[in-house]
Chains A and B, each alone.
Chain A
Amino acid sequence: MFGKLDWSAIPLSQPLPLITSFVLILIVIGLLILITVKKWWPYLWHEWITSVDHKRIGVMYCLLGVLMLIRGFADAIMMRTQQAAAINAAGYLTPEHYNQIFTAHGTIMILFGAMPLVLGFMNYLVPLQLGVRDVAFPTFNSVGFWLTASGALLVNVSLFIGEFARTGWLPYPPLSETAYTPGVGVDYYLWAVQISGIGTLITGINIVTTILKMRCPGMSYLRMPVFCWTALASCLLIVATFPILTAALAMLTLDRYVDWNYFTNTAGGNPMMFVNLVWAWGHPEVYILVLPAFGIFSEIFSTFSGKPLFGYRSMVAATLFICIVSMLVWLHHFFTMGAGAAVNTFFGISSSIIAVGTGVKIYNWIFTMYGGRVRFEVPMLWSLGFIFTFIIGGLTGVLLAVPPADFLTHNSMFLVAHFHNVIVGGVVFAVFAGLEYWFPKVFGFELHRAWGKAAFWFAFVGFWVTFAPLYVLGLLGMTRRLQHINIPEWGPWLYVSVAGVGILILGVISQVMQLVVSIRDRHKLRDVTGDPWDGRSLEWATPSPPPFFNFAVMPNVEGEEAYWGIKLRAVETQQLAPEPRYEPIEMPLHSGVGFFTAFFTSVFGFAMVWHIWWLASLALVLAIAGFVVFAWRDKHEFEVPVEEVARVDRARRLAREAALARLSEQGALP
């Protein structure tokens, strides 16, 4: 009746997951009670859960990402402290538990932390920067988000019902085959990642279509902000390579569930094919993460240098170059698997060549600053920290790209240090830079500067203190994923690394403090005009937060840096452009299809993990039925009356006129 599920699935004998689950469940129940008591359900349901507004969905993606980053960070704390404690000792985590922790750490950080954050940024910003009202398929967007959340839910459920995979974040066979992992851990992983993979693919298709087919009048390709170009490249990679992951995991699922022979050790299976396919996805995946990060930095560098981005065309070319070449390097993740000199050489060369694209970008950012008036606001600090950190991380990457060197450093702590160097230095720093930069736009008030600077410095110093020792350890011969250390010489380095983790914790606390203080002081910190940083792209033309229809009238773009030209003209003529002719606007209706589909899909995933076939079939049918029911609706748009449009826009114009008036009073206008 319940498949493999019985009471032994609850980890009563393991205090850590048990206590964590207990606390988490209490928090969730507490939240639900709070929402009910305060009668927030109608608001939450109408405005967030069933919203198809790209801005709301973007915020929810980022919220999911931040929460999962915290969980991933908790896993990291456990790993570093276990290694420091287990030098010729047992430590406090059993090998079985430790293996689940490093698997969960990688899976969560990449797929449920970084990916949702990057998707969230792209969802929020792309329509605003293109001067349009939403993405191409708003309702689908909601489905995509909720499926991603569904995957995250499954991963977290594994904490208190059953166990997670112990294979590392990429479940290599034959370890991940039924013969060697008969438990449910790998199954949780497979369904969680597959389900959220569908969500990611939906966003990829959405953004590609939006960027290629939905731009405001006058915005040709070469007038788009660079963030949109990087979003395009990233989403093209999503569309091109996520199917590879889907296929590889589907094959592993078939092997596990119906005894097929894709990757088995016997009967003609080939475990190395999994490694090949999964890295054909895995390498583009890191570029999917880092390209929008580069886009965020491009926006920040130009805004806080007070100059247009240097070398726009070469930036675009470098982005597309990286997009294509990133699909030609994947073997560098398994040089040691034995494909021989010819194959290794090809991929070694391609892996070195791809550094050129990033190099071009870094020079462009530096030249953007040159000759400009640099303002050291918090987003700019993160960007400068990124330049320093990422260059070093990239250099160690090029070192690893040389096959003979890689034979010594593959799967050592050197590798661990390298990829954290580029992912933290690249993606995480970009996320925090972007959160600081766009927070006023999204929520209507600015963030407290001093706490933001503290958070940056703790993070920057903490990162280097944590990970620099790992480079040394790698060269001293320490391999990754060790639960037990029996070489005392490694001890001092591990202790320094734990100290670094402590500094990072201070950074997290500072970040939380910044949020708390800013929310407390939000009326003092209110962003009145919508343009607190003197921005250059179209999202800064809207009020903060933007109205749900983004633009009362779609802008007509006449050059690069669409908003900058509008602003200059207003300042020179000392007045805004004449009031446009307002028209009613058609916007999509909210819809529960995303939530319902994801709900039944979560049940489906859970049932499949535990082999509860009747429940899985039922849930699948209901998920599809929900879709068909939704497709049957007659009304899917509503009209915003022209009075409403005019009212919102006139308020915006008033705020801008007031700002202009203030400037002329200060004698600042020419």
Chain B
Amino acid sequence: MSTSESDSRLPGDVMDEMEDHAPGDEPPEEGSHWVRNANYGLGFSILLTVSAFLLAGSNIIYEPAIPVALIVLAIAQMGVHLVFFLHITTGPDNTNNVLALAFGVLVVFVVVIGSVWIMSHLHENMSPMEQLMEMQP
């Protein structure tokens, strides 16, 4: 049926360098590679998390900037998790994973920001709050 036949890859733990990798997954190497990742991940996470908690309870920076800073720290923490625990890299074997993640992030962004934008605008054509309160029986 075809000039050069080939068949499915036999299932097993044999992994090719040319193959894709799922997140958090790689050819079995010595455990030290994983432990190193875990340690780096834990270290950075502790740093960022403690900073977030300290920042929330203090007045170190300009007041209105604190929520923004906290969000930046949260994004950084998520990045640490993705890179060190879930092993999302920029290599060609990870392209599908990065694309899927980007798609997911887009959806989250659209849903959250979109909903907040729409719902907050529903007050647009309503009377201001004070007038409404005055109209209460």
Direct contact of A and B (CB under 8 A): yes
Q: Could you tell me which A residues sit within 8 Å of B by CB distance?
A: 132-133, 212-213, 216-217, 236, 240-241, 244, 270, 272-273, 276-277, 280, 324, 327-328, 330-331, 337-343, 541, 551-556, 566, 569, 576-577, 580-581, 583, 585-586, 649, 652-653
Q: Could you tell me which B residues sit within 8 Å of A by CB distance?
A: 1-8, 11, 20, 96, 103-104, 106-107, 110-111, 114-115, 117-119, 121-122, 124-126
The 8 Å CB contact of B3, one of A244, A331, A556, is A556
Q: Cβ of B122 and Cβ of A338 under 8 Å apart?
A: yes
Pick 30 A–B contacts, CB within 8 A, sort by A: A212-B96, A217-B6, A236-B103, A241-B107, A272-B119, A273-B115, A273-B119, A280-B110, A280-B111, A280-B114, A280-B115, A324-B106, A327-B106, A330-B114, A331-B118, A338-B124, A338-B125, A340-B122, A340-B125, A343-B124, A554-B5, A554-B7, A555-B2, A556-B2, A556-B3, A556-B6, A566-B1, A566-B2, A580-B2, A585-B7
Q: Cβ of B118 and Cβ of A327 under 8 Å apart?
A: no
The 8 Å CB contact of B7, one of A277, A341, A553, is A553
- A-side contacts of B3, CB under 8 Å: 556, 569, 577
Given contacts A217-B6, A551-B1, 17 further A-B contacts (CB under 8 A): A133-B8, A236-B103, A272-B122, A276-B118, A280-B111, A338-B122, A339-B118, A339-B122, A340-B122, A552-B1, A553-B1, A554-B5, A555-B2, A556-B3, A566-B2, A577-B3, A581-B5
Query: Bound state CA distance, A566 and B5, in angstroms?
Result: 12
Query: Bound state CA distance, A659 and B3, in angstroms?
Result: 19
A40 to chain B, nearest CB (A): 33
Query: Bound state CA distance, A489 and B88, in angstroms?
Result: 65
Given contacts A276-B115, A343-B117, A556-B5, contact A213 B96 (CB under 8 A): yes
The 8 Å CB contact of B111, one of A244, A343, A554, is A244
Q: Cβ of B1 and Cβ of A580 under 8 Å apart?
A: yes
B29 to chain A, nearest CB (A): 22
Given contacts A244-B111, A343-B121, contact A577 B1 (CB under 8 A): yes
Q: Cβ of A583 and Cβ of B7 under 8 Å apart?
A: yes
Query: Bound state CA distance, A580 and B103, in angstroms?
Result: 41
Q: Cβ of A132 and Cβ of B8 under 8 Å apart?
A: yes
B17 to chain A, nearest CB (A): 17
The residue of chain B having its C-beta at the shortest distance from the C-beta of A578 within the complex is B3
Query: Bound state CA distance, A22 and B1, in angstroms?
Result: 54
Query: Bound state CA distance, A583 and B6, in angstroms?
Result: 10
Query: Bound state CA distance, A327 and B104, in angstroms?
Result: 12
- A-side contacts of B104, CB under 8 Å: 240
Q: Cβ of B103 and Cβ of A240 under 8 Å apart?
A: yes
A284 to chain B, nearest CB (A): 10
B7 to chain A, nearest CB (A): 5
Query: Bound state CA distance, A556 and B4, in angstroms?
Result: 6
- A-side contacts of B110, CB under 8 Å: 280, 327-328
The residue of chain B having its C-beta at the shortest distance from the C-beta of A131 within the complex is B2
Query: Bound state CA distance, A147 and B109, in angstroms?
Result: 30
Q: Cβ of A340 and Cβ of B124 under 8 Å apart?
A: yes
Q: Cβ of A577 and Cβ of B2 under 8 Å apart?
A: yes
A570 to chain B, nearest CB (A): 9
Q: Cβ of B2 and Cβ of A340 under 8 Å apart?
A: no
Query: Bound state CA distance, A343 and B118, in angstroms?
Result: 7
Given contacts A236-B103, A338-B124, contact A553 B115 (CB under 8 A): no
- B-side contacts of A236, CB under 8 Å: 103
Of B106, B114, B126, most buried by chain A (CB within 10 Å of CB) is B114
Given contacts A212-B96, A338-B125, A343-B117, contact A553 B107 (CB under 8 A): no
- A-side contacts of B4, CB under 8 Å: 556
- A-side contacts of B103, CB under 8 Å: 236, 240
Query: Bound state CA distance, A339 and B125, in angstroms?
Result: 8
